[in-house]
Amino acid sequence: MRTEVHGAVLVVVLDRPEARNAVDEATALAVDAALTRLEDDDALRVGVLTGAGGVFSAGMDLKARARGESPVLGSTGFAGLTRRRRSKPLVAAVEGWALGGGTELVLACDVVVASREARFGLPEVTRGIVAPQGGLVRLPRRIPRAVAAELLLTGAALGAERAEQLGLVSRLTEPGGALAGALEVAEQVVAAAPLAVSAVKRVLDETADLPEAEAFTRQDALVADVLRSQDAAEGARAFAERRAPRWQGR
């Protein structure tokens, strides 16, 4: 695994192309450390997760697993991501296959940018196992339940264009363009007000399973300070003065 910094964006690259970027224990620990860096560094606002060599990830490295390694890390889950609590947005940039745990990594991200040639799949049932790191729980919440059920019960693959139609993928690019597309999305997030971005992330995460009335109550508590912030006043002034806003994060 390697990382790159693009301004306020941290790019995390799964870099084991010889293993189709399958995740072994060392890779999981490295991703976990990178995501901790993203969370702790105030200069970093957004993360991008991608894979090297034209493949996103083949999921768990089964050879490493057979040697006794585990890419599932305590409270943060597979590759240190699938069960991690995050306050900063993470964008997936998907080229080629995202299989098994690879699709679960995608499901753990907030925004998904994919090449038209990308393919997703959770083939665990064909190997006598299931997808417990987000596949079973998150996929039916991201796409229609009947479609998710078919994919989970059969192990069939899902192409990027169909995934975009279903809402799993938010933006399609030409082959080779997923990372550039993800960076474009990330830079748009960076340009937005940091307090507002943080509030949106929390509301999305904390109200997803609540009834509407409870969701509004929780939302109101989370956004109250943002609506009274100096940045909110600056946003209005900048609009009126036809200039770019100067965010202070307060």
Q: Token pair for residue 13? A: 């690259």
Q: Known catalytic residue: 104? A: yes
Whether 31 and 81 have beta carbons less than 8 Å apart is answered as yes
**How far is the C-alpha of 127 from the C-alpha of 3, rounded, in Å?**
32
Nearest to 38 by CA among 2, 90, 103: 90
By three-state DSSP, how is residue 141 classified? helix
Give a three-class secondary structure readout of 148-181.
HHHHHHHCCEEEHHHHHHHCCCCEEECCCCHHHH
Active-site residue, selected from the candidate residues 4, 124, 150, 212: 124
Q: Known catalytic residue: 124? A: yes
Active-site residue, selected from the candidate residues 25, 95, 104, 117: 104
The catalytic residues are 104, 124
